[in-house]
Amino acid sequence: MRGAAFPFAAFFLFFSPVEDGEELGEIVSELTAFLQANIIPIYFVYGLAHFTIGVVVALEAGRASQLRLSRALPFLAAFELTHGINEWIEMLSMISQQIPTVAREPQWSEIIKLGWLALSFFCLFLFGVRLLGQLMPPHKRWLRWLPLISVVVFAIGVAQMRLFLPPNSFAVSGELGDLWIGYSIGFPAAVAACLALLAQRRAFVQEGMPQFGRDLVGATLALAWYAVLDQLVSVPSPYFPSSIINKDEFLHVTGVPVELARIGVILIFAFFIIRTMRVFEVEYARRLEAANRARFAAQEEATRELSVMFETCRTLGSTLDVNQLIQDAVTRIVTQLDPMIAGMVYLYDDAERALVLRASRVRDERFTLTSAENDTAKRVSRQAFEARTLAYEMGSAATASMIAVPLVSHEQTVGALCLVHRAAFSNYAVIQTLARQLGIALENARLYEQVQEKEKLRGQLLERAVAAQEEERKRIARELHDDTGQTLTALGVGLGGVEETIVQNPELAQYQIAELKLMTMRAIDNLRQYISDLRPSVLDDMGLVSALRWYAQQYSERAALAIDVQVTHGKRRLPSRVETVLFRIAQEGLNNIGRHARATHARLRLEFAATSVVLTIEDNGCGFIVDQVLGAHSQRRAWGLLGVQERVMLVGGKFEIDSMLGRGTKLVVEIPVVEEQVLVETPTNIAER
């Protein structure tokens, strides 16, 4: 009944005026007696507070956080959980002592309880040391050895107790062991944890989260009071300081059991620690915001890079002039791609056999490059060109950094793109993509230039062909007029004379007729020669092989040149167009040998394959430099060879020429044969073989 009236007495004590001192003392005595009588629920609430803090901290410690506090929280959670369990073990021990039928706890259970208590304080020590180690400079990392030192001190104290104290003083009650754990491990661990929380408070302030710094101050004060009430205010003993500061003295002075005060400070600690755990939500929100900003920045950067690539590709497709193309491309890249400040394009020059600067651009006048930087750019470009991979050279504080990528066209490196930057840059894929697009554009421009050159050459060949036709017509007209025409005129005059003399002088007329007959035969021979020069009938009648042998014999007699004609793999008739092309090529080849080669021997080799025919013309003449004669910018054009090349291309063939000064010349022509005509064996063909 007295216990049930306690709440009303407590309410009366705090909210009613008290006039009698004896009555106040009686109320305090009743309150103290009530608390001592209900010490077991107090232990339960005390353990529950610790366990609740441990669960909350353990849940927050499982977050994926970048805060240094998160890496130390598992040890604080371990301390709270183990210490809460320890308080419940004490509660159960008190309950068992009040039940007479329950056997007394054995000695080893006391040892286990002391070990469990030491483990809980060791976890608190690890929390403080781990957090301090992350927040303090490296030269103070020796603090991580403090928990082990405290354990060693505790072990030394326990050994001394076993040696110098009576057996029952430690083994039976365990009170001195509990006291020594608090002094040697618990109190230093609490001090380390308080210092760590204060250090973390400064870190929160520096990171722009002062509200959590204030919560940590409250948690630190509560933890400090907890260290005093739990480790210093312990069981009484004859040893200092527990002989002065202990539970009995605290109860005598305050009238409140120390366990109730511990509940108060641990609840305050729980309040501030739980408030501090909200820092992870704030940190997560900040990380999310930073990730969004980074994503938006990456999107903007990607958009800007795509814009640069699009504009550059549009620029590359707007012209086929090589010089204009590379100048516009490097201008677009440098002015729009950050953080580039300058760019150069080097192309390989076959004449100089080196990389030559073809275009350059700086973003503005502030970024003018020094001669040393220009030399570095050329060196890095040469490295990229030779290695066919990206080359990079980091600049110093006074110089810029260089990055160069090769320009590749049809699996062949044709140059290098070099970009200069002073700020950090790592998106090399963009530059490599731009270099690939520039290489493709250079290839298109080169092909267009070749097409233009071929069209120009074809026009010149057509002009020369037309001129040659007109010259041939003039020659034929002149020959017919000067030779055949005069012969026919003479025949007409002679026949008129024969008509007059045939009656008067038959013998003279007979002589004149004989002369006219000889004149007629010569005219017929001349006409046959003209026709043979235009197109030999043997080509149509006997085929390509016979025509080549006939022409080689005729030309050998005229030019005093020894000519061998070889036919391999069996001869056969070819399509008329192919035979005409090969015959004209042989004519042009022998004519060039006779005019320019100063050769004494030539060879024609005709090789019949299954689907093609190959004509090879060789001589032992003086030779020439092919690039100087057939090059696109040659000063002295070999129109005959260019005509041969054009004829071969018209029938889908291949043309190769190999020549060097003093070594002679070798011309190889291969023409595919689609339609074949088998040579019919005739007596003439058999005799020719």
Instruction: Kindly compute the dihedral angle of the four CA atoms of residues 676, 681, 682, 687, in this order, to the nearest 10 degrees.
Output: 110
pLDDT score for 681: 38
pTM above 0.95, yes or no: no
Find the helix or strand (DSSP H, E) in which 608 lies. strand 601-608
- State the sign of the Cα–Cα–Cα–Cα dihedral 370, 375, 380, 382: positive
**CB–CB of 363/420 below 8 Å?**
no
Q: Where in the chain is the domain with CATH 3.30.565.10?
A: 542-688
Map 155-221 to HEC letters.
HHHHHHHHHHCCHHHHHCCCHHHHHHHHHHHHHHHHHHHHHHHHHHHHHHHHCCCHHHHHHHHHHHH
**CB–CB of 417/435 below 8 Å?**
yes
Q: Which of 130, 124, 128 is nearest to 78 (CA)?
A: 124
pLDDT score for 173: 46
Q: Where in the chain is the domain with CATH 1.20.1070?
A: 38-277
- Nearest-angstrom CA–CA distance, 77 and 61: 8
pLDDT score for 18: 44
For residue 462, how many other CB atoms are within 10 A of its CB?
11
pLDDT score for 11: 37
pLDDT score for 6: 38
Cis, peptide link before residue 339, omega less than 30° from 0: yes
Q: Which CATH class name applies to 542-688?
A: alpha beta
Q: Strand (E) positions, 333-388? A: 340-349, 354-362
Binned average pLDDT, 10 residues per bin, the chain of 689 residues: 36 43 53 61 80 84 75 86 83 71 60 81 86 69 75 76 60 62 83 88 85 88 86 74 76 76 85 86 84 79 70 68 82 82 88 86 83 88 90 79 87 89 79 81 78 71 64 67 71 75 77 79 74 70 84 82 85 82 85 83 88 89 75 58 76 84 87 59 37
- State the sign of the Cα–Cα–Cα–Cα dihedral 62, 67, 70, 71: positive
pLDDT score for 683: 37
Domain 38-277 has CATH 3.30.1490: no
* Domain at 291-441: CATH code: 3.30.450.40
